[in-house]
Amino acid sequence: MYPSRFRYEAPRTLDEALALLAEHGDEAKILAGGQSLVPMMKLRFAAPGVLVDINGVQGLAYHQEVPGGGLRVGALCRHVDLEHSAILPGAQPTMAAAAPLVADPIVRTRGTLVGSLCHADPQGDWASVMLALDGAVVAASPRGLRTIPVGEFVVGTFQNALEQDEIAVEAVVPAAQGTRSGSYLKLERRVGDFATAGVAVALESDGGRVVRAGIALTGVGPATIAAVDAQQALLGSSLEPDVVERAAELAAAVARPRTDHRGTADYKRHVVATFVRRILTAERAPAGAAA
C-alpha cells in the first residue's frame, strides 16, 4: 500500500510552516509523528494534496515544567520522551502512568502527544489524560497564539477545533492547586492495541481533601468523555469507600460504549467502574501502607 500523490514540504521554521498552511488551505495537512496520518494515507482514508512535515522545525521537541507549576509539551515531544521522562514520575503521575501504555515501543519512537490530541481518536490515550488534567492546546496562526482547553479542542470523532491555518505548537497542563496524584489504567486485548476502555484520574488535594478532580474515559464513546459528575462527587472528600463507589458508578453511567470486537458495551462500562475504583482506592492507601 502507498499513499496517493502529494506535494511534500519540509519547513525549517514555524513561520514557514504557517505560510504553507496559509497558502494551501484545506489541501494541506501537518505531518508530525506520522503514526496515525501515514497509515490513514496508505489506506487512502486521507489524501492531502500538500504534506507539511514539521519534523525539521526547530524548537518544538521539549517537555518542561513551568516555573510556578504546570507543564508544557512541545509539538515534537515524542511518546518515548514522555515514557523515559525524568520530570513526569514526580510531577505528573497520571501522564507518567499513561506514557508506557500508548501504542507500542516502536510507534512511541515517532508519535507525539500533540499529534495524538490533534488526531482526536476516541481511543487516544493522551486526550483523556490531558482532559483529566484540565490541559489545553496552544495553536499558532498568522493571527498569533490562542489557547484552547482540551475539552473544547476535541470536538468529535477525529475532529479537532483547529482552523485550517493553525498549527498546534504545544500542550499545556496548568499548575496544581494542591498535591497532585492520580493514574491511568487501560485495558487492551494485547500489548500495543488501542484501549478496550481506559480511565484517567487526576487529583489535587490539600490537607487530605480533594480540591480538584479530573476523570476522563478512553474508548467508550464517540469522543473522549469527561466524567463530570464523578469528579464532582470527589470534591471535599478524602476518598472514603462510599465516595469512591459513587464516583465509579457515576463514571460508568456517562460512558457510552458500543459493543464491538473489543467487547460488549456492558463489559466496557464495567471496566470503567472497576478502573475508577482501583485508581481511587490506591490513592487513598498511602504508598507503602497496607490497603
Partner 1 sequence: MTATEPVDTTSDTGAPTRRITVTVNGERRVAEVEPRLLLAHLLRQGLALTGTHVGCDTTNCGACTVLYDGAPVKSCTMLAVQADGHEVTTVEGLGTPSELDPVQEGFVAEHGLQCGFCTPGMMLAARALLNRNPDPSEDEIRWGLSGNLCRCTGYQNIVKAVRWAAEKEAQ
Ligand X SMILES: Cc1cc2nc3c(=O)[nH]c(=O)nc-3n(C[C@H](O)[C@H](O)[C@H](O)COP(=O)(O)OP(=O)(O)OC[C@H]3O[C@@H](n4cnc5c(N)ncnc54)[C@H](O)[C@@H]3O)c2cc1C
* Residue 55: CB minimum distance to partner 1, A: 7
Grid cell locating 160? 479537532
95 or 107, CB closer to partner 1?
107
Which option in partner 1, ligand X, none does residue 109 bind, with CB closer than 5 to 8 A by kind?
partner 1
Does 13 contact partner 1 by CB under 8 A? no
Q: Is there binding between residue 5 and partner 1 (CB under 8 A)? A: yes
Binding-site partner at residue 168 among ligand X, partner 1, none, CB < 5 to 8 Å by type:
ligand X
Interaction residues for partner 1, span 91-110 (CB under 8 A): 100, 103-110
Complex with ligand X: residue 130 or 201, whichever CB lies closer: 130
3-state secondary structure at position 188:
coil
Q: How far is CA 154 from CA 20, 85, 281, in A?
A: 24, 26, 29
Q: Which of residues 165-184 bind ligand X (CB under 6 A)?
A: 167-168
What would the grid cell of residue 173 be? 497542563
C-alpha cell at 171: 500542550
Binding mask 107-146 toward partner 1 (x if CB under 8 A, else -) reads xxxx------------------------------------
Amino acid at 5: R
Answer yes or no whether residue 224 interacts with ligand X by CB under 6 A. Answer: no
* Binder of partner 1 out of 11, 34, 115, 182 (CB under 8 A): 34
Contact assessment for residue 193 and residue 219, using Cβ atoms and an 8 Å cutoff: no
- Secondary structure of residue 94 in the 3-state scheme: helix
HSE-CB of 161 using CA atoms within 13 angstroms: 15
Which residue matches cell numbers 489504567?
185
User: Where is 181: in which H helix or E strand?
Assistant: strand 179-187
- φ, ψ of residue 242 to 5 degrees: the values are -70, -35
Binding site for partner 1 (CB under 8 A): 1-8, 10, 34-35, 38-39, 41-43, 51, 53, 55, 80, 84, 100, 103-110, 191-192
